[in-house]
Amino acid sequence: MSHENPMSQITPASTSRRIDVELGSRRYPVWIGPGLMSDTATWRETIRGRHVLVFSNRTIAPLYLPKIEAGLSGLSWDSYVMDDGEAYKTFANIEQALGALARMGATRDACVIALGGGVVGDMAGFTAACWMRGIDFIQMPTTLLAMVDSSVGGKTGVNLPAGKNLVGAFHQPRAVFADTDSLATLPAREYRAGLAEVVKGAAIGDPVFFSWLEDHAEALAARDPAPLIEAIARKVAYKAGVVARDETEQGERALLNLGHSFGHALETAGHYQTWLHGEAVAIGMVLAAQLSEQLGMADAADTGRLRRLLLQLGLPVAPGALAPAETLLQLMRLDKKNLAGKLRLILWDGIGRARLVPGVDEAAVLGVLQAAINAPV
């Protein structure tokens, strides 16, 4: 494994923000700002070998692959363009992408470029983790959610019919280039879903950031560029800190899963057709807050602030009658945080004070789910 990443010496021409993810003797930069895709000289420096596979999907490739093509000249490159959607985050697609690397004759110094949202990023990263037991990859996130969350931290993988992200690997990117110009084409619903993962970071461990989000909710909902870039940078910095302290989720990193035990169950139960990941996380955070209240850990006032902020940002706060509470609980039993057959959930003591709680009473979870299913969406 190479230790010092020469990327730490490279600076894009634009007025981008840079946050480093420090992993002991390794580190990589997350660049955030406009024009990064077209700044080919910069990201091209990260590619060490001759072979490149651009991993994208049928929506994003026509929009953004032409922007990066010039930077690939002189390399032996190909693209793997998957169908669009969470339902395609499967092993079958990983096998196809690995086949594309094989056809290229990709060697160990090959690089995968993830050009897209979180689905593409998780799958491109997993492809890179699998090929010859691990090659380089670069994240070029094109959704807000991918910029603030999935492109950073090295969680990669795919879904199984039994549940979300059940198979994967920790495999860190070599660099992240979050070109905020690409958000111009992002549909409004997808944009709002990304804001949920911003709120999550603040709700877990940064009450000052949470208040800042409350003060800037209207501007963020309207995609005002200055507060948006500030919000992206603050969330990335927060996540980078957590990942630096606990890269492989032995402890603190599990907190980044606030709302996800519920959220993943909602996504799976709806066959990825009902709630987007960010929306499911928004609902899941409210459920976690309600459960925390019921267990005597937190006040209703904190749940109220969380609900209000999510609603201001245009996010859902209740699941609707998607599936019976028992079905959702059954899906939650396969969550990766659970131990010894017992639910381990991220709950909170209030805004900015999340914690991992083992052995959570299933009857209490069922009660919260049942009440939420009957509440208006």
Ligand X SMILES: NC(=O)c1ccc[n+]([C@@H]2O[C@H](COP(=O)([O-])OP(=O)(O)OC[C@H]3O[C@@H](n4cnc5c(N)ncnc54)[C@H](O)[C@@H]3O)[C@@H](O)[C@H]2O)c1
Ligand Y SMILES: O=C(O)C(=O)C[C@@H](O)[C@H](O)[C@H](O)COP(=O)(O)O
Among 12, 71, 118, 201, binds ligand X (CB under 6 A): 118
The rounded distance, in Å, linking the Cα atoms of 305 and 302 is 5
DSSP annotation string for 54-87: EEEETTHHHHHHHHHHGGGTTSEEEEEEEPSSGG
| Annotation says 257 is catalytic | yes
Is 3 a catalytic site residue? Answer: no
Bridge partner list, 116:
141
Would residue 279 show up in a list of annotated catalytic residues for this protein?
Answer: no
Which of residues 126 and 131 has its CB atom nearest to ligand X in the complex?
126
> Tokens standing for 175?
């660099």
Place of tokens 């003797």: 25
153 binds ligand X (CB under 6 A): yes
Looking at 1-9, 24-32, 146-154, 206-214, which segment touches ligand X (CB under 6 A)?
Answer: 146-154
Rank residues 34 and 168 by Cβ distance to ligand Y and give the closer one. Answer: 168
Whether 67 has a binding-site annotation, put simply, is no
Residues that bind ligand Y (CB under 6 A): 149, 153, 155, 165, 197, 249, 253, 256-257, 260, 336
Q: Is 190 a catalytic residue?
A: no
Other beta carbons within 10 angstroms of residue 225's beta carbon come to: 11
Residues in region 256-275 near ligand X by CB under 6 A: none
Catalytic residue among 190, 197, 267, 293: 197
CA dihedral 273, 115, 189, 256 (to 10 degrees): 80
Closest CA to 31 of 52, 53, 13, 49: 13
Cα separation, 95 vs 131, in Å, equals 10
Q: Check residue 34 for interaction with ligand X (CB under 6 A).
A: no
Is 143 an interacting residue with respect to ligand X (CB under 6 A)? Answer: yes
**In the complex with ligand Y, which residue's Cβ is closer, 62 or 251?**
251
Q: Output helix, strand, coil percentages for the chain, rounded to the nearest 5.
A: 50, 20, 30
Q: Which is nearer to ligand Y, 37 or 288 (CB)?
A: 288
Q: Is 344 a known active-site residue?
A: no
How many C-beta atoms surround the C-beta of residue 11 within 10 A? 12
Q: How far is the CB of 251 from ligand Y (least distance, A)?
A: 12
335 in contact with ligand X (CB under 6 A): no
How many CB atoms sit inside 10 A of residue 15's CB? 9
Q: Is 164 annotated as a binding residue?
A: yes
Interface positions with ligand X (CB under 6 A)? 57, 59-60, 63, 84, 86, 89, 116-120, 122, 142-143, 145-146, 149-150, 153, 155, 165, 182, 185-186, 190, 193, 197, 277-278
Catalytic residues: 133, 155, 197, 239, 249, 253, 257, 260, 264, 277
